[in-house]
């Protein structure tokens, strides 16, 4: 393997026709280079989407009401109904698979103009009534103060947790907003926290940085919503599929609000677990397609090397005949040709791999870091194990590319090889 004469012979053979060698090697180089670029880009897309989901609880389902479409128990179709406060406890008591239940209510006024003011500053923002559990389902980073707690809920405190953009609009730069008051539709609330969202790809009612969280019970009382619940965010326990919870919750809520079991439109829902699984399957499919296309391109280059090795073997027929006549075994001849093929494939492929990884790393370093803004492309890097796997594929491909020419070389009898012109 480390015979100096053999390596000199390999180098001499490859260097004899530099243009042909370079063009042949380029096919392998381009195949592995494109494989690295496509894999890195696929990872960047996947990372961007998953990063955009932040720490969102993927075992979640969101359920709201819509007009009924089927008459039921003497009630007409197109009947509108609302969830109520007692539905919260009913869900917890009757569905043991439920992990968290977070009712939510959206306050009005944003669409009609500036609904939030402070001194001479004003803005139109989304206002939500929430439970503390909401911050476990759709987490936020508290950059100042705290989120809503159960004392706020039980005591119906007039406190508010505001988004970063709300803070920037209503307060001076570097001003401490904690303990200060803002006015929402004419009612004063004390600011107890400022947050930035951990994800921007999952929005519920507008830009999260331009939203305000109030205690759920406070919003109901302050703005005369009675015991109305806008919608529910529900999670399942542990690794249980949230679809089980969705089915049971839908059935329970239909029974409580006299909705026909056959009315599939009266209760709307969004199963995040189902969407997440579909997205995971999509990226698995994209990754598989990348490997198929990349390896196909690589094989095209390897076939080119195999063809050029056939040409080289044909050119060296007399040389091989002399080697055989001097006592070289078929195994030695095969090893010589296969080694040439592996060397050419490995050098070309390794160069493509290094350059491909380097370009992906440079793109990664020059991408702006996400700062709460939505991003669809992030960290397009190559996994180390993927790089090692690609190198192994290269070595095996080089061996295969050299075997066919090598077998042809030893199939010619020495006496015939010596007569070859």
pLDDT of residue 213: 96
The pair of three-digit structure tokens given for residue 68, joined into one six-digit string: 């009924």
| Residues 142 and 207 placed together within one structural domain of the fold | yes
pTM for this one? 0.72
> Does residue 328 belong to any structural domain of this protein?
yes
User: How many structural domains compose the chain?
Assistant: 2
> Does residue 60 belong to any structural domain of this protein?
no
Among the candidates 265, 298, 329, a domain finishes at: 265
| Residues 86 and 111 placed together within one structural domain of the fold | yes
Task: Tell me the sheet residues that pair with 134.
Answer: none
| Residues 146 and 36 placed together within one structural domain of the fold | no
| Residues 38 and 109 placed together within one structural domain of the fold | no
Among the candidates 222, 242, 265, a domain finishes at: 265
| Residues 123 and 171 placed together within one structural domain of the fold | yes
151, 186 contact by CB (below 8 A)? no
Task: Tell me the sheet residues that pair with 88.
Answer: none
> Does residue 186 belong to any structural domain of this protein?
yes
DSSP assigned state of 185 = T
**Residue for token pair 């063009």:** 23
CA 150 to chain centre: 34
> Does residue 61 belong to any structural domain of this protein?
no
pLDDT of residue 228: 95
The pair of three-digit structure tokens given for residue 269, joined into one six-digit string: 């829902």
> Does residue 167 belong to any structural domain of this protein?
yes
User: Distance (Å, rounded) from C-alpha 31 to C-alpha 295?
Assistant: 7
Q: Of 354, 402, 360, give the one whose Cα is nearest residue 37.
A: 360
| Residues 95 and 18 placed together within one structural domain of the fold | no
| Residues 25 and 167 placed together within one structural domain of the fold | no
| Residues 258 and 317 placed together within one structural domain of the fold | no
pLDDT of residue 178: 96
Predicted confidence (pLDDT) per residue in 349-389, tens digit: 888 888 988 998 888 888 776 554 556 677 787 887 888 88
User: Distance (Å, rounded) from C-alpha 37 to C-alpha 267?
Assistant: 45
Predicted confidence (pLDDT) per residue in 299-356, tens digit: 777 777 777 777 766 666 666 666 666 666 667 777 777 777 788 888 888 888 889 8
Please name the helix (run of DSSP H) or strand (run of DSSP E) that holds residue 269, with its range, or none: strand 267-271
> Does residue 272 belong to any structural domain of this protein?
no
| Residues 246 and 119 placed together within one structural domain of the fold | yes
Phi, psi of 82 (to 5 degrees): -130, 150
> Does residue 116 belong to any structural domain of this protein?
yes
Domain that holds residue 212: 67-265
pLDDT of residue 415: 56
pLDDT of residue 250: 95
pLDDT of residue 314: 66
| Residues 81 and 187 placed together within one structural domain of the fold | yes
Q: Which residues of the chain have pLDDT under 70?
A: 1-17, 51-54, 108-113, 200-202, 204-205, 312-330, 369-376, 408-421
Q: What does each C-alpha distance from 241 to 59, 276, 300 come to in angstroms?
A: 7, 12, 44
Checking phi first, is residue 418 left (phi over 0); if not, alpha (psi -120 to 50) or beta?
alpha
Q: Of 277, 261, 296, 308, give the one whose Cα is nearest residue 13.
A: 308
Please name the helix (run of DSSP H) or strand (run of DSSP E) that holds residue 192, with its range, or none: strand 187-197
| Residues 79 and 177 placed together within one structural domain of the fold | yes
Among the candidates 265, 297, 317, a domain finishes at: 265
pLDDT of residue 282: 84
| Residues 294 and 179 placed together within one structural domain of the fold | no
- For 117, other C-beta atoms within 10 Å of its C-beta total 15
> Does residue 96 belong to any structural domain of this protein?
yes
User: Distance (Å, rounded) from C-alpha 265 to C-alpha 69?
Assistant: 7
């Amino acid at each position: 393997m480390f015979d100096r004469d053999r390596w000199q012979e390999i180098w001499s053979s490859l260097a004899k026709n530099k243009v042909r060698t370079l063009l042949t090697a380029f096919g392998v180089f381009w195949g592995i280079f494109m494989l690295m670029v496509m894999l890195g880009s696929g990872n960047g897309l996947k990372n961007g989407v998953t990063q955009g989901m932040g720490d969102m609880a993927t075992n979640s389902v969101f359920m709201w009401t819509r007009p009924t479409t089927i008459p039921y128990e003497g009630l007409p179709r197109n009947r509108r109904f609302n969830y109520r406060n007692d539905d919260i406890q009913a869900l917890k008591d009757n569905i043991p698979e439920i992990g968290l239940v977070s009712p939510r209510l959206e306050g009005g006024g944003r669409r009609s103009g500036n609904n939030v003011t402070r001194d001479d500053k004003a803005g139109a923002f989304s206002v939500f009534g929430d439970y503390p559990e909401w911050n476990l389902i759709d987490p936020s980073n508290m950059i100042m103060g705290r989120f809503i707690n159960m004392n706020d809920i039980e005591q119906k405190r007039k406190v508010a947790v505001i988004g970063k953009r709300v803070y920037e609009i209503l307060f001076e730069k570097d001003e401490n907003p904690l303990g200060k008051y803002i006015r929402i539709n004419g009612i004063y609330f004390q600011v107890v926290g400022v947050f930035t969202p951990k994800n921007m790809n999952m929005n519920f009612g507008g830009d999260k940085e331009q939203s305000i969280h109030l205690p759920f019970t406070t919003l109901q009382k302050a703005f005369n919503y009675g015991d109305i619940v806008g919608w529910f965010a529900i999670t399942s326990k542990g690794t249980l599929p949230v679809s089980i919870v969705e089915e049971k919750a839908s059935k329970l809520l239909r029974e409580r609000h006299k909705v026909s079991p056959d009315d599939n439109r009266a209760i709307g829902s969004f199963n995040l677990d189902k969407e997440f699984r579909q997205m995971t399957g999509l990226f698995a499919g994209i990754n598989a397609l990348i490997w198929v296309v990349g390896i196909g391109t690589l094989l095209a280059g390897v076939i080119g090397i195999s063809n050029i090795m056939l040409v080289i073997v044909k050119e060296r027929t007399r040389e091989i005949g002399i080697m055989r006549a001097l006592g070289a075994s078929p195994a030695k001849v095969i090893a010589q040709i296969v080694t040439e093929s592996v060397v050419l494939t490995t050098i070309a492929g390794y160069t493509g791999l290094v350059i491909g990884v380097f370009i992906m790393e440079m793109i990664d370093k020059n991408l702006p870091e996400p700062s709460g803004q939505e991003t669809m492309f992030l960290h397009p890097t190559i996994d180390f194990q993927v790089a090692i796997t690609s190198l192994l594929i290269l070595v095996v491909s080089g061996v295969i590319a050299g075997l066919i020419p090598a077998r042809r070389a030893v199939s010619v009898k020495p006496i015939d090889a010596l007569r070859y012109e």
